[in-house]
Amino acid sequence: MSVVEKKILFTYDDLLNWEDDKFRHELIEGEHFMTPSPNLYHQKISIKLARYVSIYAEEKDLGEVFTAPTDVVLSDVEVLVPDLLFVSNKKRHILKENYIHGAPDLIVEILSPSSVHYDKVVKFKRYAYYGVLEYWLVDPEKHVVEVYDLEQQKLIKVFSTDAVMNTRTFPDIHLPLEKIF
């Protein structure tokens, strides 16, 4: 007789009751994932991106930008913490007091050596499944930003440091990537 291994699944309530240990805790299909804090270069990129995108969204009155750690609760067993996210005015109803409850318009993940597969495959699929419209993968080593349309689950464009970035979510942002990297 074989023993069937039973997975322990966690919920957002479980996550809220864990002790704060300065790690990033996420749930995918109820499975717990934990990552350490990112390095300083990652954080510098995050701050610069957040500043540009936030100023643009505010000047155009488009919606709100949030940075990590902000819980994005896609379901009771799907909780992710992206590096940066944007919620349009049209989707303001998903903004709760302490978290985002639903799919933001835009998610930005900054790759770390330990997170490449997780961000490019696992999170990509979960964000697409729950209805995130646009996904940016920022590669600090290659100095590029990959922009994906998650409705179609396809790569739209790769922007390098000599490019001025604009996307479907922010068509006239003119984000100078040489100032980000």
What CATH number does the domain containing 121 carry?
Answer: 3.90.1570.10
In the chain, how many domains are there? 1
Determine, yes or no, domain membership for 13. Answer: no
Determine, yes or no, domain membership for 6. Answer: no
Q: Read off φ and ψ for residue 134, nearest 5 degrees.
A: -135, 145
- Which residue range is the domain that position 83 belongs to? 38-179
Determine, yes or no, domain membership for 113. Answer: yes
Whether the per-residue pLDDT at 1 is higher than 60: the answer is no
User: In the sheet where 134-139 sits, what is the strand order?
Assistant: 63-67, 84-88, 106-110, 134-139, 144-149, 154-160
Determine, yes or no, domain membership for 7. Answer: no
Determine, yes or no, domain membership for 50. Answer: yes
- Mean pLDDT, all residues of the chain: 94
> What is the percent of the chain with per-residue pLDDT over 90, rounded to a whole number?
84
pTM: 0.92
DSSP tag of 146: E
User: What was the pLDDT predicted at 7?
Assistant: 77
Determine, yes or no, domain membership for 26. Answer: no
User: What was the pLDDT predicted at 21?
Assistant: 80
Per-residue pLDDT band for 3 (boundaries 50, 70, 90) equals low
